[in-house]
Amino acid sequence: MLKIVLLGAPGSGKGTQSEKLVAEFGVPQISTGDLLRSAVSNQTELGKKAKSAMDAGELVSDDIVVGMIRERLAEDDTENGFILDGFPRSLDQAKALDSLLDEMNRPLQGVVHIKVDNEEIVQRLMARGRSDDNEETIRNRLKVYQDQTQPLVKFYEDKGLLTAVAGVGEIDDIYARIKAALPAG
Ligand SMILES: Nc1ncnc2c1ncn2[C@@H]1O[C@H](COP(=O)(O)OP(=O)(O)O)[C@@H](O)[C@H]1O
Ligand SMILES: [Mg+2]
């Protein structure tokens, strides 16, 4: 059983580290960014609504992402847990997640905060070069992260759920730190 949130700036390595956790623990990674990008490329109604916010590096509306998470968590493969990547991204989303997990009687076990400093983040995102990774969007996403997502550090700290790990160095070394930070049970 592993029910965790990976918290960290865009480009902090949440996706990379999730893949390794998925392989080892056999629970799915749930990435709102990946779900949204797939909705955009499939040109669904939801994708059409989300696209402009994504292109601008803004947050997509809560009703869209919370609805997506609600549906995804209802699927059978989350029976043994989940790794949330890129959600929650604001206090409102964190509170929505709390009540959702309450409803389902599946409380969160822990939150791992992958810490990488801003300069390194900008370098990584510029190198990644996804369509929502141009310089202006990157700058805006970092601002959105600082304003809206960073407050989650305190929110989860206050709940006694947060562990921070250094997100720099070799991927395998970071993974070892994350494993050491995982909640027991
Ligand atoms: N929880 C969320 N709430 C609102 N918007 C989101 C959320 N997750 C992803 N998005 C949208 O999708 C974009 C890409 O997200 P993501 O793939 O998680 O980026 P990264 O992995 O670089 O942090 C975000 O900039 C945002 O527009
Ligand atoms: Mg990601």
Q: Structural domains in the chain?
A: 2-181 (3.40.50.300)
* Of the candidates 138, 142, 175, the residue with the CA atom closest to the CA atom of residue 9: 142
Q: Is 106 annotated as a binding residue?
A: no
Query: What is the reported pLDDT for 185?
Result: 62
The complex's ipTM works out to 0.91
- Give the number of whichever ligand sits closest to the CA of residue 128: 1
Mark 142-165 as b/e (b = at least 16 C-beta within 10 Å).
bebbeebbeebeebbeeeebbbbb
- Does the beta carbon of 15 lie inside 6 Å of ligand 1? yes
**Dihedral sign for Cα atoms in the order 167, 169, 175, 176:** negative
Output the CA 32–ligand 2 centroid distance in Å: 9
| Predicted local confidence at residue 129, as pLDDT | 84
Residue 72 marked ligand-binding: no
> Could you tell me the distance, in angstroms and rounded to a whole number, from the CA of residue 145 to the centre of ligand 1?
10
Q: For atom 20 of ligand 1, which residue has the closest CA?
A: 10
pLDDT, one tens digit for every residue, the chain (185 residues): 999 999 999 999 999 999 999 999 999 999 999 999 999 999 999 999 999 999 999 999 999 999 999 999 999 999 999 999 999 999 999 999 999 999 999 999 999 999 999 999 999 999 988 888 888 899 999 999 999 999 999 999 999 999 999 999 999 999 999 999 998 76
| Cβ contacts of 131 within 8 Å, gap of 6 or more | 55
